[in-house]
A and B are shown apart, each in its own frame.
Chain A
Amino acid sequence: MTAQTFDHLSTEEALGEPPWQRALRRLVKRRAAMTGLAIVVFFILIAVTAPFISPYDPIATSWAAVRKPPSAAHLFGTDDIGRDVLARIIWGSRASLLAGLVSVMLALAVGVPIGLFSGYAGGALDGTIMRLIDAMLAIPFLILAIALAAFLGPSLTNAMIAIGVTQMPVFARLTRAQVLSVKHEDYIEAARAVGNPQYRIVLRHIFPNIVPPLLVQATLATAMAIIAEASLSFLGLGQQPPSPSWGSMLNTAKNFMAQAPWMAIWPGLAIFSLVLSLNLFGDGLRDALDPRRE
């Protein structure tokens, strides 16, 4: 009888709009976030299609074209040893995006399990892990990255490791805080009561509920990682010459500011627009995933 009464209600309707769909609908409505996403996608396309769209070889020098201002032949001009700036910007997008992606993945892969474990286990173990995380957070981001890059040796790979290691504690702490906030919810107690093993409770019941804030943090962390890679390359501790990277292009440009200002304008503009777009998208994502906002 009861079954018949509720027959006409589908599960979908009873539950309302699924949260992910609602978040997506709200995200699409945010113009700033969508502009950000479009620009990020644009940069990804540039990085992927670099071999086909680059007008010149990014490391080919030409003594006949040293520090030439922007022209039809070289849209963004040439650098101090005659390399095409546009070609280097196009190829340099690979270093930036790769650094952003790899270092954040590394930070997630290490930080999230630590946070899950620490938050779920609690007690003295949690206390000890959190003091270690505090210690890592006490060393300023770039200074720790510089020190790591210095001791590991300067290269793009080591810069990515250094950036990932410095971002890891942020994810560990965020994950732990989220675990603590859902750990005593009724549905977790229920999962425990029906005899689920610990690992299943953590992976199947806790983890999916803490994904949204991690996603937002990961987007904003990618923006930070891209600035960090550019900073390390600017200091000479990231991508090594002659491979192109926006940060190292600015490092060289610094010495020719009076003679070739275009060398400094374009790489900086590229970093700025990519980072701003990621921040715009991240902010929009946070608002869209926040159930309290409408």
Chain B
Amino acid sequence: MTTFLLRRIALIVPTLFFVSLLIFGLQQLLPGDPATALAGEDRDPAVIAFIRQKYHLDEPLPVRYALWVKGVVQGDLGESIRIRRPVLDLIAEKLPVTGELALIAVLISLCIGIPAGIIAAVKNGTAIDYGTTMAALWGLSIPNFWLGILLILLFSVELELLPASGFVSPGESLRQNLLTLIMPAFVLGNFFAAGMMRHTRSAMLQVLGMDYVRTARAKGLPEIRVILRHAFRNALIPVVTLAALDFGALLSGAVLTEQVFTIPGFGKLIVDAVFNRDYAVVQGVVLFTAFAYIMLNFFADLAYVVLNPRLRT
């Protein structure tokens, strides 16, 4: 376990180093003088001078990179040119909104994807399996911003049941909060559910052919117990890892979903920043999501070892 842990951490360090290089490198893509570009549309000389000094633009590239990394390690992700606030504060402010949206989306997708995957695997080769697999393919192919628009057309415009956009914090009114989030969470969860169904199905198909499942059946255990206790618990292990890999898709989806339903979250933050040419915010958000992704996959690998007794040595 300790060796695994050390080896896994040893992999994270160079990955984080390259992520930092990539994100720092983004700035170099800006055409012309970065200080002028970073200053946004106003091109205020005072702002340009401030940026030049703040990002040490007169220093050579390696020095600038080192200074930038030093800042990042100390929690300084730069400052929004537009709102003149630290990027980290902005992220901290928007994160709970996206977090809640993503959490509900994941819950919805687990409730749909896992049972659907189990049923498809158990009924392998039947019309039920075919139908579920097809539904998952639909889920993977439908652009979620279009699904969002269709749901708004149906539930907000036609039926007038749910609000089309906006966000109410749970502190203000939990009921309103859930009403505003249910459609976006379904839209976001749809893609995740489809992936979850495919992962569960293939993991279950593999496990159902194992000797211990045959043994459990031979013992005369009820089928439902064989499926849930003996097969599913083992199938869950790869599903956890694959779900962590889908986390990136969840964040990408959140950007679009928040745009469709005008939810003031993380995704809206990066899109608004792009249009305001608020590059520090763009960089900060990218850095933060990459870090979150790397850590999440680290913990998923850890969970893999903890859940799988065969790897626990």
Stretch at the interface among A57-65, A112-120, A268-276: A268-276
Asked if A134 is at the interface of the complex by the 8 Å CB criterion, the answer is: yes
- Residue A234 at the B interface, CB < 8 A? yes
Chain A residues near B174: list those with CB within 8 A: none
A253 engages B149 (CB within 8 Å): yes
- Contact indicator B150/A268 (Cβ below 8 Å): yes
Q: Which listed segment binds B: A45-53, A71-79, A199-207, A254-262?
A: A254-262
Q: Is the CB of A230 within 8 A of B22?
A: no
Give chain B residues whose Cβ lies under 8 Å from the Cβ of A136: 18, 22
Task: Report yes or no: B19 in contact with A151, Cβ–Cβ below 8 A.
Answer: no
Q: Which residues of A contact B17 (CB under 8 A)?
A: 131, 135
Task: Indicate if the CB atoms of A143 and B26 lie closer than 8 Å.
Answer: no
Provide the main secondary structure of the chain B interface.
helix
Contact across chains for A254 and B260 when beta carbons are under 8 A apart: yes
B188 touches A (CB below 8 Å):
no
Q: Kindly provide the distance from the CB of B59 to the nearest chain A CB, expressed in whole angstroms.
A: 21
* B29 pairs with A146, CB closer than 8 A: no
Q: Are A143 and B289 in contact (CB under 8 A)?
A: yes
B186 at the interface (CB under 8 A from A): no
Q: How far is the CA of A283 from the CA of B11 in the complex (A)?
A: 33
Tell me which of B145, B146, B150, B259 has the highest count of chain A C-beta atoms within 10 A of its own C-beta.
B146
Q: How far is the CA of A258 from the CA of B159 in the complex (A)?
A: 12
Give the residues in chain B near A258, CB-CB below 8 Å. 157
Give the A-B contact count at a CB cut-off of 8 A: 148
* Assembly CA distance A10 to B240 (angstroms): 52
Q: How does the 8 Å CB contact mask read for B145-162 relative to A, with 1 for contact and 0 for none?
A: 110011011000100000
Query: Which of A223, A235, A253, A275 meets B256, CB within 8 Å?
Result: A235
Tell me the complex Cα distance, A227–B139, Å.
13
Contact with A along B117-149 (1 / 0, CB 8 A): 000000000000000000001101111011001
A231 to B4, CA, bound (A): 39
Give the complex CA separation of A128 and B14 in angstroms. Answer: 8
Whether the Cβ atoms of A146 and B26 lie closer than 8 Å is no
Flag if A131 contacts B15 (CB, 8 Å): yes
Stretch of B86-94, B244-252, B303-311 with 4 or more beta carbons under 8 angstroms from chain A:
B244-252
Given A139-B22, A140-B293, A237-B274, decide whether A279 and B252 contact each other with a Cβ distance below 8 A: no
B282 at the interface (CB under 8 A from A): yes
* Contact among B26, B140, B150, B282 for A279, CB-based, below 8 A: B140
Whether the pair B141, A147 counts as a contact (CB closer than 8 A) is: no
Contact of A234 with B259 in the complex, beta carbons under 8 Å? yes
Contact in complex: B282, A150 (CB < 8 Å): yes
B302 close to A (CB within 8 Å):
no
Collect the chain A residues with CB atoms within 8 Å of residue B270's CB: 143, 146-147
Chain B residues whose C-beta falls within 8 Å of the C-beta of A265 in the assembled complex:
150
Among B30, B145, B153, B290, the most chain A Cβ lie within 10 Å of the Cβ of B145
- Is A250's CB within 8 Å of the partner chain B? yes
Is B102 interfacial (CB-CB < 8 Å)?
A: no
B-chain residues with CB within 8 Å of residue A137 when the two chains form the complex: 248
Residue of B150, B152, B157, B293 near A139 (CB, 8 A) is: B293
Distance in angstroms from A99 CB to nearest chain B CB is: 13
Encode contact with A along B265-297: 1 for CB under 8 Å, 0 otherwise: 000001101110001001101100110011001
Is A280 at the interface (CB under 8 A from chain B)? yes
Tell me whether A151 and B146 are in contact (CB under 8 A).
no
Considering the complex of A and B, which 10 residue pairs feature the smallest CB-CB distances, nearest first? A142-B252, A268-B146, A135-B18, A140-B248, A276-B141, A131-B14, A150-B274, A151-B29, A135-B19, A275-B141
- Subset of 15 A-B contacts with CB under 8 Å: A128-B14, A132-B18, A135-B18, A135-B19, A138-B294, A139-B248, A140-B293, A141-B252, A147-B26, A150-B273, A152-B29, A235-B256, A235-B271, A237-B274, A276-B138
**A contact set with B: CB distance below 8 Å:** 128, 131-132, 134-144, 146-153, 223, 227, 230-231, 234-237, 250, 253-254, 257-258, 261, 264-265, 267-268, 271-272, 275-276, 279-280, 283
